[in-house]
Structure 1
Amino acid sequence: MVLSQMGALHSTLVYLIFLHSFNTVAYKDQEWSKATATYAKDTEGSLITEGACGYGDLHKASYGKHSVGLSTILFNRGTTCGACYEIRCVDHILWCVLGSPSVIVTATDFCPPNYGLSVDYGGWCNFPRQHFELSQPAFSEIAKTKADIIPVQYRRVKCERSGGMKFTMSGSSHFYQVLITNVGQEGEVFAVKVKGSRTGWIPMARNWGMNWHCNVNLQHQPLSFKVTSSTGKTLASYNVAPSNWQFGQTFQGKQF
């Protein structure tokens, strides 16, 4: 009986290890999906300064030229803000860069639909089309900029970030808002809680994009955060901001 139980336990452990390894590999090596891509001209090399994810200056947010706007179905009402995609040009001998190199970009904006135009000419972001709007420099890494629209393949990849998650404070005395950037691994944020020295953990609501808020006065308290990713992982960063924090300041916490 003991040997039988030990054997069953060993089999279970082996299975769990295999399952974990499989899930990790499956995420890293997801199958490619088909989509299309265009680019937006920008003199500073990034997609735009203010995007629908609320990051503000994309260069200060460390995304810069490797930013991308997503069509309606991919943007999913902002829940995919911060996600990372690997994109490559395919099946076009005139426009694709030789060898079909790929570029990794971060979702920072929404590409709005234009139902007055067909999906083949101008209405590229119309539902349910899967489309990416790249910055011109990022587009030029995979295709010639003479192209109008190109066929691409894409897949989700892990976000490689330097340093910890960043928390930027804004709001007023009874309205607290935090912008979360530089999120590693999945890149997406599913839920956020904040805690002051005089409060318990307070759930925050998504205001827009990666901005989260609560109607509580948190001034003059050191602040801690719990961030939950789209895969359910939760990471707590304690006393990220000191008690004398000010609106407009950015602080760094832990990283997934």
Structure 2
Amino acid sequence: MSETVKVENISVYYDHHPAIQNISFSSKKGILTGVIGPNGAGKSTLMKALLGLEKTTGGKIEVLGEKVEKVRKKLAYVPQRSDIDWDFPVLVEDVVLMGRYAHLPWYKKIGKNEKKKAREALEKVGMESYSKRQIGELSGGQQQRVFIARALVQDAEIFFLDEPFVGIDVKSEEIIINLLRNLKGNGKTIFVIHHDLSKVESYFDNLLLINQKLIAYGPSQEVYDPERLSEAYKGSLHLFSDDKVMVVGN
């Protein structure tokens, strides 16, 4: 199987208004894809549609050659930090262990193997010494690293991350991007919603540029193009440097 994700002409409507329209693309193993576009472009809606969390109109989505429902255990999702209740009283290690629940029968409790996986994942994100802390006590970057650890213990084949670099420190961003590169090197397929265009060429193999409709998809160096970005951002482009386009205040 060459394609891990295959999307054909999908649309999502809210109250008869299109959030995304007629989007098609495909991705293979070992590809790190950045999903970019202005605010309100439908990036999160597209990601949720790929996960089966949004109802699509028409078209078809295949993940690992199957419908999403059949391969859900092979998918890991890190939502936006703003979608999470950080006041909920839960320990860091328990947040990470949540990533193992889908792999356990209902009658089996969390055991030594699951706890070992959780410790290893926390070590990978540099958060092993925080395992007994409340998740709400951590900084934004630390919280994001814990949720990356939760995704790691799922033993997923495809990872979906919605703006993982927003509101985090430089150290956390470096740890996360290096982890994503390692996952890519191990043949994982990764989609990341991202807003900082100054880093997309260095971070991602491919870019998926949308504004409700698909504007461009392909290698980052090809999609990161003034004409295509101008079409997507519709006038929000106003900083040019060394023939490269940056978007400010979109």
- TM bucket by the smaller chain? under 0.3
Which structure dedicates a bigger proportion of its chain to strand?
1
Greater length-normalized contact order (CA 8 Å, ≥ 6 residues apart): 2
Which of the two has higher C-alpha Rg?
1
